[in-house]
Amino acid sequence: MNIIIIDDDPNARRTLGKILKARGFEVDEAVTGAEAVASCGAKFFNLALIDVRLPDMSGLDVVKAVRGISRDTIAIMMTAYASLDSSIEAMNNGAYSYIIKPMNMDAVLSVIDRALEGQRLSMENRNLLLDLKKSNEDLGKAYDQLKKTQRELIQLEKTAAMGRFSIYVAHEVKNPMSIVLGGLEFLETKLPHSDKNVKNTMAIVKKALLRANSVLETLLHYSKPSDSQIEMISVSDVIQPVLDMVTRSASLANIIIDTEFIQDAKISVDKNQIHQALFNLLTNAIDAMPNGGKISIKIYQAIIPGALNEKMSCVIEVADTGSGISIDNIARVSEPFFTTKDHGKVRGTGLGLFITKMIIDSYNGKLLIESTEGKGSVMKIVLPLAE
Ligand SMILES: Nc1ncnc2c1ncn2[C@@H]1O[C@H](COP(=O)(O)OP(=O)(O)OP(=O)(O)O)[C@@H](O)[C@H]1O
Ligand SMILES: [Mg+2]
């Protein structure tokens, strides 16, 4: 504990100093107000004993200056009866107490002890308050994070529930649909084909039914109880069969496919499912470039922020130079049945990305979608490396 005695009377300084040192305090001395202010600026004092009458400054000004430097320094005035008024004024301006000269040492020590105890408690209090404030902030952050995770979980569950519901609907609709299709085929054989209108109407109805049927087939295909065959394979081996499937339609659309095996990786998967996922990404890329362009496929290993607990993972990246996805749509593209291909030549069911995401999720992987409207898209399949 550091104490500074500020007094121009050498005897007072010496006597007080000796007693305080004997009590284990570290004691500094100052003869003038200016000297005291300089010392307080250089070092922290727990307590300043200030004579009310100093040669250069009033005790009140010293109190203000010392407490201006450090609010934690306790000021105690030393005063003769004759100048008690100034001590009281000093107390109104931040001094803790006063001691009457000539001093009764027991009284002095008990004031000092009380003052220091008060100081200790108030510093402790302040630290506790700071801790409390920090804990409160941490709690606030944890709460926000929890809310965010909860929202994400709800969204995830909603999507999953929607998926389950669609599959249920598909099952329910499949049989009546077959009956309608069968009925239509029967009517085709019975109705007079010479009537052009009838023929056209039949064709339109059949086309619509077949399209609806293909939506059901896709859903039911996905929902088939998994007889998946998990094996450890190299990513480079899963790419080629899919490339073979899309090369023709890509070249017809003037699309170049560039494949770069930066770093091969082993993954434990059912290769048919990965084929399906990749096929969906590649057909989407082709659909997005009706006037030609480029698809760049890259295979590498990386730590992807926000995916797979930031562990080294296998990444299959499919980038295109196509239409891109608008900001409004980007969050929705992996929802079941979300499609923008509901007119024109290309028709979509809106299940491609949904199924791709389900497949990747089932391997604890992540499907990342980045896109800039008018420039193109980058889809990343991030999968755990085989153990
Ligand atoms: N590479 C891409 N570039 C631009 N838009 C894309 C791309 N991939 C997906 N999209 C957008 O996301 C939508 C949903 O894609 P998704 O594959 O799920 O369904 P789809 O391609 O419309 O139909 P399908 O079920 O036949 O795949 C697309 O309709 C398209 O608007
Ligand atoms: Mg698609």
Cα 348 to Cα 117: distance, rounded to the nearest angstrom: 78
Cα 195 to Cα 192: distance, rounded to the nearest angstrom: 6
Cα 361 to Cα 260: distance, rounded to the nearest angstrom: 25
Least confident range from 202-206, 214-218, 237-241, 303-307: namely 214-218
Task: Pull the structure tokens for residue 310.
Answer: 């930031």
Is 112 a member of any domain? no
Cα 160 to Cα 163: distance, rounded to the nearest angstrom: 5
Q: In terms of domains, do 261 and 366 share one?
A: yes
Which ligand has its closest atom nearest to the C-alpha of 355? 1
CATH of the domain at 13: 3.40.50.2300
Closest C-alpha to ligand 1, atom 1: 285
| pLDDT of residue 127 exceeding 90 | yes
Q: In terms of domains, do 236 and 378 share one?
A: yes
Please tell me the predicted confidence (pLDDT) of residue 211: 81
| pLDDT of residue 227 exceeding 80 | no
Q: In terms of domains, do 217 and 296 share one?
A: no
Which residue type, as a one-letter code, is found at position 43?
K
Domain with 170, as residue range(s), is 147-223
Is 122 a member of any domain? no
Q: In terms of domains, do 317 and 369 share one?
A: yes
> What average pLDDT does the segment 12-32 reach?
95
| pLDDT of residue 98 exceeding 60 | yes
Q: What angle (nearest 5°) sits at the alpha carbon of residue 231, between those of residues 230 and 235? A: 115
Ligand 2 centroid from CA 64, angstroms: 76
Task: Pull the structure tokens for residue 1.
Answer: 């504990």
Cα 170 to Cα 344: distance, rounded to the nearest angstrom: 25
- Torsions phi, psi for 77 (to 5 deg): -85, 145
User: Hey, how many other C-beta atoms are within 10 angstroms of the C-beta on 333?
Assistant: 21
Is 132 a member of any domain? no
**300 pairs with which residues across the strands?**
315
Kindly report the average pLDDT of the chain as a whole number: 90
> What average pLDDT does the segment 266-287 reach?
92
Q: In terms of domains, do 274 and 332 share one?
A: yes
C-alpha closest to that of 283 among 328, 309, 322: 322
Q: In terms of domains, do 285 and 318 share one?
A: yes
- Torsions phi, psi for 73 (to 5 deg): -75, 130
Ligand 2 centroid from CA 355, angstroms: 10
DSSP-assigned letter for residue 53: B
Q: In terms of domains, do 244 and 213 share one?
A: no
Which residue type, as a one-letter code, is found at position 126?
R
**49 pairs with which residues across the strands?**
5, 76
Ligand 1 centroid from CA 198, angstroms: 35
Counting every residue, how long is the chain? 387
CATH of the domain at 344: 3.30.565.10
Q: In terms of domains, do 270 and 354 share one?
A: yes
Residue in 326, 330, 333 to alter for ligand 1 test, most ligand atoms within 8 A of Cβ: 333
Query: Is the C-alpha dihedral spanning 8, 9, 14, 15 positive or negative?
Result: negative
Return all residues near 223 (Cβ < 8 A) that are at least 6 apart: 167, 170
Q: In terms of domains, do 194 and 81 share one?
A: no
Ligand 1 centroid from CA 157, angstroms: 22
Domain end: 204, 223, 242, which one? 223
Q: In terms of domains, do 217 and 267 share one?
A: no
Q: In terms of domains, do 374 and 276 share one?
A: yes
Q: In terms of domains, do 197 and 267 share one?
A: no
Which pLDDT band holds residue 208 (cuts at 50, 70, 90)? confident
Is 193 a member of any domain? yes
Closest C-alpha to ligand 1, atom 11: 333
C-alpha closest to that of 281 among 344, 368, 217: 368
Digit-coded pLDDT (tens) for 296-339: 999 999 999 888 888 999 999 999 999 999 999 999 999 888 89
Domain end: 69, 86, 103, which one? 103
Query: Is the C-alpha dihedral spanning 70, 71, 76, 82 positive or negative?
Result: positive
Domain end: 164, 195, 223, which one? 223
Q: Structurally, how many domains does the chain consist of?
A: 3
